[in-house]
Amino acid sequence: MSYTQELDIALLAVQRATLLTQKVFHYNAKGTLSKDDHSPVTIGDFGAQALIISALRHNFPNDEIVGEEEASSLRDNPSLAEQIFALVKESKLDDSSAESQLGGPIKDLNAMLAAIDAGNSNGGSKGRIWALDPVDGTKGFLRGGQYAVCLALMVDGDVKVGVLGCPNLPIDDAAPISADVGGEGKGVLFSAVQGQGATSRPLTRGALASAKTITMKDVDDITQATFCESVEAGHSSHGDQAEIAKRLGITRESVRMDSQAKYGSIARGAGDLYLRLPVRKDYEEKIWDHAAGDLIVREAGGEVTDAEGKRLDFSIGRTLKRNKGVVAAPREVHGKVLEVVKEVLGNK
């Protein structure tokens, strides 16, 4: 199956959502709430989730959606809900045909809340299920760093389509990797369909821009590789990752950035390795934090496994219960990197 319609809708839906997130990104006050796990959620998260789920329900009404947010806190806070709905109403693509493909604007506040709550699937191994992270890297978003709007389609537990909207990454695929977000020429949309390769294109305010094929960089000398890791030490073990880099002979400082922007960066050869090693044994990664990036890297010629060498398993619910950590690298060096990862973790 070609998944042409699914890819088009996913790209346009993510592109439209980034119009809202960028508006919120440049606000001084981002309307932060705290979830039960104390992670921050902003008006950008709620608004982007509403816009994307509305587009998915218009085009694929029978599909399930695993979304990160739910709307109960907004029902308890009507003024915040109204503030978000005002932003949602303003967030339209300039191209009327593209906007029409997404089903047009959300009609009222109740429809917005219903859309947010429609991301309540438990996931699993049967049928068509979308995984959505409306603002991946919320802490980066709040501090003015990298973030991504992430959407993936899984069919019977296998990721078929992946899209990442990264408003603060350079459009130029050849630009060196950096956590810096300043300057012009920013905003890129990465995508992949299983078996069809990976692409990047500039984010626009209207119709989709032309896409370019992206591939991971050949790494002839692992000591010259650049590796990416999370900014937050609570997400990824910086100490273990530094030891792995040392044993591989990598002397370049790691690039720390938030979100699945790391997957997009290595997929186009701006970086080489992405390590996200477990900080505690009971931590389970969320599927929406990895589904799109995993496919994009693999379709760009990379390998993505957990720290034990197993493929990431998106078929068992809302988390990656059977996996610990993430190791993403070009295929030709992944085995070497994984060997060192196992050595370092095995010595603990």
Number of C-alpha atoms within 13 angstroms, CB side, residue 94? 8
Q: Reduced to 3 states, what is the DSSP secondary structure of residue 7?
A: helix
Residues 80, 74 contacting (CB under 8 angstroms): yes
Name residues whose C-beta falls within 8 Å of residue 146's C-beta, 6 or more positions apart in sequence: 137, 140, 166, 168, 169, 179, 181, 257, 258, 259, 261
Query: 0.85 exceeded by the pTM?
Result: yes
Report the distance separating Cα 191 and Cα 72, nearest Å.
Answer: 32
pLDDT digits (tens, 9 = 90+) for 304-341: 999 999 999 999 999 999 999 999 999 999 999 999 99
Predicted confidence at residue 31, as pLDDT, reads 64
45 labelled catalytic: yes
SS3 298: helix
Q: Which of 45, 136, 272, 294 is catalytic?
A: 45
Separation CA 276–CA 136 (nearest Å): 15
CB 161 within 8 A of CB 193: yes
Q: Which of 18, 21, 42, 138 is an active site residue?
A: 138
How many beta carbons lie within 10 A of that of residue 1, not counting itself? Answer: 9
pLDDT computed for residue 55 by the predictor: 98
**What CA–CA distances, in Å, run from 219 to 175, 255, 329?**
17, 17, 9
All residues at 6 or more sequence positions from 88 whose CB lies less than 8 Å from its CB, including other chains: 20, 47, 50, 51, 105, 106, 112
User: Using N-to-C axis directions, what is the helix angle for 43-59 and 109-117, rounded to 10°?
Assistant: 80
For residue 211, give the DSSP letter: P
Length of the chain: 348
Pick the closest to residue 13 from 95, 119, 102 (CA basis): 102
Q: In the predicted model, is pLDDT for residue 68 greater than 80?
A: yes
Rounded mean pLDDT of the chain? 93
pLDDT class for 199, splitting at 50, 70, 90? very high
Look at 21-30, 78-87, 254-263 and tell me which has the smallest mean pLDDT: 21-30
The model's confidence at residue 144, banded by pLDDT at 50, 70 and 90, is confident
Q: Which residue has the tokens 């109960």?
A: 72
Helices (H), 259-330: 261-267, 291-299
180 is catalytic: no
